[in-house]
Amino acid sequence: ATGNNDYEKACQRINELHILINEQRQILSMKENEQGNFRQLYDDERQTLFNDQSTLKQHEDTLRRKRGGIQQLKAAKQDRVTIYGRYTLAILKEIDRNAHRFKQIPIGPVGKHIRLVDRKWAIAVEQAIGNSMQGYLCSCRDDERVLLEILSRCVPAQEMDYRPNVTVMKYQSKVYQNLRLPPSSFTTILSMLQIDNPTVTCFLIDHARIEQRVLMDNYETARRIM
């Protein structure tokens, strides 16, 4: 009887151990699954972080390129306005700084608002309106006084030759109508200019008659027409 009891106890113990082993295997399997899930989550997060860093770098590169483009445009703009006089940048900065003192902001330099349509006429157009390119326009005498004050500060007294001219005229919202134009078969200075400000166009009509001055390819043609 004692032998049977020992055998039964041994069998029961073995069964308990099998149950315990199975439970431990289940727990181990669960842990392995959890570990696999955590590893996948870690890999996903790492990939997301990598993607975010790549996206951030792309945005930074794009921003850097745009900033570089802006700097190039600013430099190009500065280079362009300096052709209208060595003190042009200083004058424009002072106009901006004193904007509150003007009834209407001065327009200028005049040449900044003009583009030549065909470079072959560059010399002829320069001869016709070159003296006006560095000038400024004011809408009233009060604004002219403020601008002349700025010019006196920006341009040294010993370099008066570099001081641009100032013209007072009523600002225009559109170009003069009913102009006396030559036949459409003729090329005029006006037709060869792209002007982005109607007041500048009217100024050049008043002071240089650009709507009437005809451009000719050669002297013989011009003499025959004259």
The kind and range of the H/E element at 142 are helix 141-154
The gap from C-alpha 28 to its chain's centroid, in whole angstroms, comes to: 63
Distance CA 219, CA 226 (A): 10
Nearest CA among 99, 167, 105 for reference residue 134: 167
- Contact assessment for residue 166 and residue 95, using Cβ atoms and an 8 Å cutoff: no
Q: At 170, give phi and psi (nearest 5°).
A: -70, 130
Distance CA 73, CA 65 (A): 12
Q: Strands 166-168, 187-188: parallel, antiparallel or unpaired by DSSP? A: unpaired
Lowest-pLDDT range of 51-55, 113-117, 176-180, 212-216: 51-55
115, pLDDT greater than 80: yes
Q: Which residue has the higher pLDDT, 13 or 78?
A: 13
Length of the chain (residues)? 226
> Domain locations in the chain?
1-84, 104-225
- CA Rg, the chain, in Å? 41
134, pLDDT greater than 80: yes
Helix 122-129, helix 198-208: angle, nearest 10: 80
Distances from the Cα of 153 to the Cα of 98, 160, 176, 177, 210, angstroms: 13, 11, 35, 39, 33
pLDDT category, 114, cuts 50, 70, 90? very high
pLDDT in tens, 89-112: 999 999 999 999 999 999 999 999
62, burial (CB in 10 Å: exposed 0-12, middle 13-18, buried 19+): exposed
7, pLDDT greater than 80: no
The pLDDT assigned to 76 comes to: 52
The HSE-up count of residue 186 (CA atoms within 13 Å, CB side) is 17
201 C-beta neighbours (distance < 10 Å), count:
21
pLDDT in tens, 176-219: 998 888 888 889 999 999 999 999 999 999 999 999 999 987 65
- Contact assessment for residue 106 and residue 138, using Cβ atoms and an 8 Å cutoff: yes
